[in-house]
Structure 1
Amino acid sequence: MKNTLRIAFMGTPDFAVASLEALLENGYPVVVVVTAPDRPAGRGRTLKASPVKECAEKYGIPVLQPERLKDPEFVGQLEALDVNLQVVVAFRMLPEVVWAQPAFGTFNLHASLLPDFRGAAPIHWAVVNGETETGVTTFFIDAEIDTGQIILQEKTPIRPDETTGELYERLMQMGARLVLETVRMIEAGPVKTRTQKHLQTPKKAPKLTNENTQLDWDTPTQKVHDKIRGLCPFPGAWTHFENNGTVERVKIFRSTTDDLNDEAPSGSIVKRENRLLARTADGWLEVLEMQLPGKRRMPVKDILNGLEIQKSARFL
């Protein structure tokens, strides 16, 4: 006999929308959507709804937007809706009073092959670390972050020059399929799970900060290249750019390795016609797309049309 489901879907960004739509388009009863409160956005600072809220309203699904997930009023609203399964995709950490409530549990979609890359930015860090494979995982939430019993996993290769933005799109669709398959398993019941492996040194996916998104030109070429593509398109790898007696903060979005064999200190810059090459610890990198302060992201060949590069120019 199939379980009769009443689902609460919890998520905020567009990554979660694909999973929500997969459930709705396959007839699953999502009785409520929980998402972040509307936030000011744009130059006018007008309130903007999350992508998940916009999707829910399109389908006519009630939306809850609690500031505090432990709020008794919010917890009571979930209880009153008789929710028996919660599906979480790209949302906040849930308190036990919420995740432990449904009869069939609360499961999360995580964009990595757990137990590796637990944390806030798993897609970014898989690319930054130069991984050749990643994937998506569904697991039942427990008291610790990203440690619960694994339900399903699906793997995919990471292409050598793939950016986080490109991988994000693929994992979003993979994740939606895995969420749908996971709900079907729970509906059919019972669900077989497996315990996550204990790793002595698991790969981590911490929140992206100003400190861990800065480029270090004293590292090998491949490491610099991987960090650039791992932080593209958001938030962008950044570095200081010294030229014409000024030092500015710039972002680099695209690069490729180069076989130039000139010796120079790390961070040195060489202009070759409409190309910009930068020295790393063990070689050279060609910078393909960059963003100067107050400007939009542009191909370097276009930037060089209006920018004079001094011989002493360098990345710091």
Structure 2
Amino acid sequence: MEAKKLRIVYMGTPDFAVAPLRRLVEEGYRIVAVVTTPDKPAGRGLRMQPSAVKQYALQAGLPVLQPAKLKDPEFVERFRALKADLGIVIAFRMLPEVIWSAPRLGTFNLHASLLPQYRGAAPINRAIIDGETETGVTTFLLDHEIDKGAILCQSRVPIAPDDCAGSLHDKLMERGTELVVETVEKIAAGDIRPIDQRTVEPEVLREAPKIFKETCRIDWTKNGKTIHDLVRGLSPYPAAWSELHRDGEAPLGVKIYKTRPENVRPDHTAGRIVSDGKTVIKVACADGYIHLEELQIAGKKRMPAADLLRGFKGLETYRFE
């Protein structure tokens, strides 16, 4: 069947899911509906905010469905009435079988890793945190187990030494967009052989569980590369953090966005701050120092080290814990 005649239902929520949808629309693929999350209150005024996918879908004139519950009988009936040939899911919720099994040709998901590696909610962050030099994107068929369906297509993406989660997100989004279109074309042509993930399980299987606040806390007793990779893997969001301590004062939270490791024998205990008061802020760690190049003290804006030092005197009298 010609790919552009397929009746496609597209499901997604954040920015990562917008680019593939835009490409499909602009290239003339038939999107019969877009499913996304209900609007949520956001900002100081708590105004109802639509998802990034909904905003684009409305601009493109696409029908939008926003079920509160995916098993709701009314939504299931509306979904079935779409008579979809293919479902595409990108950065959305876990789907019940009644939904992912409804399209005639099945439902596939785009995942930001080379499955079976980095299954889970935070594959981009975890790959950088683990010091990987390569990742990629995978399309796979949905089934009963999360991120374990049969692999359809994959594409590799190198992780540069200066990549952070934000820059890698953009690279994977671009490559993932290409892979989604490629997958649709191959499914339509019958030119695809799904690969059971159980046949490609590596010796060391890395997972990508959800990031929590404590995941982001820096342990200054670790080595410089480990700390540097943690910062890169969490920048710009949710950001690695630590606390400034000084006797007799309440701790001061600090988010750290950009670092540079200096591998020398440290002359200070872990967490000790060394600064020239002008441009350099570095913190002792297990095998040297971590230069803090961009950071944000609670209540202040994110800024380069030099800008912070102009307005924050006596930083070296604190310590990080």
Report TM bin, short chain. over 0.9
Name the residue aligned to 1:215.
218
Q: Is the 8 A contact 2:222 2:285 kept in 1?
A: yes
**Does the 8 Å CA contact 1:213/1:238 hold for their aligned counterparts?**
yes
1:265 is matched with 269
Instruction: Give the corresponding residue for 2:70.
Output: 69
Q: Where do 1:145-156 residues align within 5 Å? A: 145-156=146-157
Three-state SS of the structure 2 residue aligned to 1:263 is coil
Mapping 1:101-140, distance limit 5 Å:
101-140=102-141
SS of aligned partner of 1:179: helix
| Corresponding position of 1:53 | 54
Helix, strand or coil: the match of 2:257? strand
1:313 maps to which of 308, 313, 318: 318
Q: How far, CA to CA, are the matches of 1:199 and 1:113 in structure 2? A: 11
Provide the residue aligned with 1:95 in structure 2: 96
Q: What residue number does 2:299 align with? A: 294
Structure 1 residues 58 and 310: alpha-carbon distance in aligned structure 2, compared to 1, 3 A threshold: closer
Q: 1-side partners of 2:259 and 2:315: how far apart?
A: 21
Q: How many residues align?
A: 316
| TM-score, length basis structure 2 | 0.95
What is residue 179 of structure 1 aligned with on the other side? 180
Alpha-carbon distance, 1:300 to partner: 1.3
Q: Which residue of 2 aligns with 1:303?
A: 308
Q: What is the match of residue 169 of structure 2? A: 168
Contact 1:244-1:310 at 8 Å conserved across structures: no
Shift of 1:310: 5.0
Q: Distance in 1 between matches of 2:55 and 2:265?
A: 53
1:12 maps onto 2:17 in alignment: no
Specify the SS of the correspondent of 2:33. strand
- CA distance in 1 between counterparts of 2:115 and 2:257 reads 28
Give RMSD over aligned pairs. Answer: 1.4
1:230 to 229, 233, 236: 233
- String of CA shifts for 1:95-147, please: whole Å, max 9, x gaps: 11111111100000000000111000100111111100000000001100100
Greater mean deviation of Cα atoms: 240-249 or 125-134: 240-249
- Structure 2 CA distance, aligned partners of 1:224 and 1:243? 22
Q: Deviations over 1:15-47 (max 9, x none)?
A: 100000111111110000000110111111000
- Structure 1 segments of 4+ aligned residues over 4 angstroms from their partners: none
- Contact conserved, 2:239 with 2:257, CA < 8 A, in 1? yes
C-alpha separation in 2, matches of 1:52 and 1:310: 44
Q: Percent identity?
A: 47
TM-score of the aligned structures, taking structure 1 as reference length: 0.97
CA contact (8 A) 2:275 2:315 kept: no
How many Å apart are 1:60 and its aligned residue?
0.6
User: What corresponds to 1:30 in structure 2?
Assistant: 31
Find the aligned partners of 1:50 and 1:244 in 2 and give their Cα distance.
45
Gaps of 5+ in 2: none
- Secondary structure of the residue that 2:283 maps to in structure 1? strand
Decide whether the 8 Å contact of 2:260 with 2:291 is kept in 1: yes
Q: Distance in 1 between matches of 2:222 and 2:261?
A: 13
Unpaired runs of 5+ in structure 1?
none
The answer as to whether partners of 1:243 and 1:310 remain within 8 angstroms in 2 is: no
Cα distance between partner residues in 1 of 2:106 and 2:157? 27
Per the alignment, in what secondary structure is the counterpart of residue 286 of structure 1? Answer: strand
1:282 pairs, out of 274, 281, 287, with 287
Say if 2:243 is the partner of 1:240: yes
Q: 1:286 to 1:218 in 2, by over 3 A?
A: same
SS in 2 for 1:187: helix
> Is the CA contact (8 Å cut-off) linking 1:250 and 1:291 kept in structure 2?
yes
The 3-state SS of whatever aligns with 1:23 is: helix
